[in-house]
């Protein structure tokens, strides 16, 4: 997730440069590949993250956590009904979300230097 936070917004540009020059930058060559074991968690996190609330006020932008009802709906839609598996998904998504929201709130509210 940290790789995507750092490079994800620039991925199209990096890939275009790689295609143009015929050289694969280390940024791409060293990109982590999610293990199949974690692919479902990552997919759930990415899909449910689209429903994250964003608050705008005088203090700047604040990104909220993914609502639990969104995660429950995703689990239902994907046929995940086993209580233990559901708890595992909830735990993993919450941990990923904590890290991601902290990153977003830190990076979006820092003064831009020119």
Look at 22-31, 42-51, 79-88, 90-99 and tell me which has the smallest mean pLDDT.
Answer: 22-31
Model confidence at 47, in pLDDT bands (50, 70, 90)?
Answer: very high
Indicate the pTM of the whole model: 0.64
Q: Do residue 53 and residue 109 come from a single domain?
A: yes
Write out the DSSP string of the chain: -HHHHHHGGGHHHHHHHHHHHS---HHHHT-----HHHHHHHHHHHHHGGG--EEEETTEEEE-PPPHHHHHHHHHHTT---HHHHHHHHHHHHHHHHHHHHHHHHHHTSPPP-
- What's the domain range around 27? 1-33
Q: Do residue 88 and residue 110 come from a single domain?
A: yes
Q: What percent of the chain has pLDDT over 70?
A: 64
pLDDT digits (tens, 9 = 90+) for 64-99: 999 999 999 999 999 999 999 999 999 999 998 998
Q: Do residue 44 and residue 94 come from a single domain?
A: yes
- 61 and 54 in contact (C-beta within 8 Å)? yes
Number of domains in the chain: 2
Q: For position 71, what pLDDT does the model report?
A: 96
């Amino acid at each position: 997730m940290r790789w995507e936070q750092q490079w994800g917004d620039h991925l199209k540009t990096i890939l275009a440069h790689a295609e143009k020059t015929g050289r694969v930058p280390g940024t791409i060559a060293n990109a982590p590949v999610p293990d199949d074991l974690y692919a479902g968690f990552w997919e759930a996190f990415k899909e449910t993250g689209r429903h994250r609330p964003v608050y705008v006020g005088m203090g700047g932008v604040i990104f909220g956590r993914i609502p639990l009802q969104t995660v429950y709906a995703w689990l239902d839609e994907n046929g995940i009904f086993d209580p233990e598996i559901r708890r595992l998904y909830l735990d993993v998504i919450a941990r990923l979300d904590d890290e991601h929201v902290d990153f977003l709130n830190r990076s979006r509210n820092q003064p831009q230097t020119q």
